[in-house]
A and B are shown apart, each in its own frame.
Chain A
């Protein structure tokens, strides 16, 4: 094994990204806990965490940029750094989604708690599981595990669609509940986005490990011909 210093730098980059991933995952869990308990002090924790996540994002981008400029990585190392840059952006957006949910929880403080026809905890649990699984696939470099994340996105999309439908009907039937319904709709939308980011992370892991681009349901390797139309 040569280029030991470079390999060490790649390990450092991975470790740094995993620390940030832990923070993004925690931010989502906290935001959902804040929604469940209506506890504003947890919202404050989410906001503090968001500042740290943004700082990590800049730091990781700089590390990746330095490695690209100084080490001219190739093949699997190049794909790894490219994947890190993209996962970094997705994690920052997960942090944004947590922050946005926290804002909605603050808004909801002004209104009475009501039963809403939307299973936010279930959506949150699914989206958080997708994030956890995609990050585990990154940690292990496991493309099969990453691939298993992709199908879960459909479940979250379906929950979001049914939440939208049910909450729209509720607003028509009981307009006085519109503020609560709108905030719940936006929380569901944010959770759906978190699931999308987890999907992106999983796709980036597959690209890193296999060199295959599976975004937008296109299954092809670099250099191969585009698939024939069905």
Chain B
């Protein structure tokens, strides 16, 4: 099951460049939350704070609290444990090019020391099924490399790889921006199905996509969370003029 995410007083900086200002946000479990805003507004930085990737940059700092379920990811968990609980899918599919489809999905488990073949087989099949890819690749699991798949299939392979370690949260940073409309539709359908098992946070520039997949939407501007509300409210009648100006294309 997914876990809810509670963010309070989150600030982030790169050196002297303050990029996130006092973000407070509750993302309910087993919902999809979309984050929108112009380039450079801080939404990707925010997402990277949710799995402690932001701090991998030596000049980056984070203060504030992020709870996944009951646990504070900056106090109660190690970065490795956080990333097991919080999977991430990036804009461009990034399968390990020399690994087979099977090994791509199993890589996270193997890194964590799992070697039981039967368990690995089960997890790979379940993850590929959850990512709606299994039927398309089941005959080539160990014959073909991840890089031999189409762009849309590669992205679903990356989702399967993220799901294999049984996370509670799935972060998606522009997961369909490099895909054609059919592959995009498959990813969006997938997000809908995955919500029953995971909590999803999706960063997107595609506002129609946010409107289609997310229950809640947050609008970021200049490192601040301007508005967070039910998606239908944000896209039909936002409360803040800046949100309205952005989503209607009057700036951004």
Q: Using a CB–CB distance below 8 Å, which chain A residues touch chain B? A: 1-3, 6, 72-79, 211, 221-223
Say which residue of B208, B236, B251, B252 sits within 8 Å of A222 (CB atoms). B236
Q: Which of B207-252 contact A (CB under 8 A)?
A: 207-208, 229-230, 232-233, 235-238, 243-244, 247-252
B194 to chain A, nearest CB (A): 25
**Min CB–CB distance B226 → chain A (angstroms):** 14
**A2–B232 touching, CB < 8 Å:** no
For residue A211, which residue of chain B has the nearest CB? B237
Say whether B248 contacts A77, CB under 8 Å: yes
Task: A183 to B208: give the CA distance in the assembly, Å.
Answer: 52
Q: How far does the alpha carbon of A1 sit from the alpha carbon of B129 in the complex, in Å?
A: 46
Complex CA distance for A77 and B238, rounded to whole angstroms:
12
Contacts of B249 in A (CB 8 A): 2-3, 6, 74
Q: Are A223 and B232 in contact (CB under 8 A)?
A: yes
Q: Please, how many angstroms separate the alpha-carbon atoms of A45 and B80 in the complex?
A: 80
- Interface residue count for B (Cβ, 8 Å)? 18
User: Would you mind naming 21 contact pairs between A and B with Cβ atoms under 8 Å apart?
Assistant: A1-B250, A2-B251, A3-B248, A6-B249, A73-B248, A74-B235, A74-B248, A75-B235, A75-B244, A76-B244, A76-B248, A77-B248, A79-B236, A211-B236, A211-B237, A221-B237, A222-B233, A222-B236, A222-B237, A223-B232, A223-B233
Contacts of A223 in B (CB 8 A): 229-230, 232-233, 237
Known pairs A75-B237, A211-B237, A222-B233 / 19 extra A-B pairs, C-beta < 8 Å: A2-B249, A2-B251, A3-B249, A3-B250, A6-B249, A74-B236, A74-B248, A74-B249, A75-B236, A75-B243, A75-B244, A76-B248, A77-B248, A78-B236, A79-B236, A211-B236, A222-B232, A223-B229, A223-B230
CA distance A79 to B250 in the complex (A): 16
Q: How many A-B Cβ pairs are below 8 Å?
A: 46
Give the 7 A-B residue pairs with the shortest CB-CB distance, closest first: A211-B237, A223-B233, A3-B249, A74-B247, A75-B244, A77-B248, A222-B237
Say what secondary structure dominates the interface of chain A: loop
Task: Give the Cβ gap from B148 to chain A, nearest Cβ, in Å.
Answer: 35
- Please tell me if the beta carbons of A72 and B232 are within 8 angstroms of each other in the complex: no
Closest to B230 in A: A223
CA distance A223 to B208 in the complex (A): 19
Give bound CA distance, A79 to B248, whole Å: 11
Does A75 contact B248, Cβ atoms closer than 8 Å?
A: yes
Chain A residues with CB under 8 Å of B247's CB are 74-75
Chain A: CB-nearest residue to B236:
A222
Instruction: Please measure, in the bound complex, the distance between the C-alpha atom of A76 and the C-alpha atom of B247, giving whole angstroms.
Output: 10
Smallest distance from the beta carbon of B241 to chain A beta carbons, Å? 10
Q: Give the residues in chain B near A1, CB-CB below 8 Å.
A: 250-251
Among A73, A79, A211, A223, max chain B CB count under 10 A is at A223
A116 CB to closest chain B CB (Å) equals: 48
A residues less than 8 Å from B207 (CB atoms) = 72, 74
Least Cβ–Cβ distance between B104 and chain A, in angstroms: 35
By a CB distance below 8 angstroms, the chain A residues around B248 are 3, 73-77
The residues of B that contact A73 with a CB separation of less than 8 Å are 248
Which residue on chain B has the smallest CB distance to residue A78? B236
Q: A211 contacts which chain B residues (CB < 8 A)?
A: 236-237
* CB of B119, distance to nearest CB on chain A (Å): 46
A57 to B220 Cα, complex, angstroms: 40
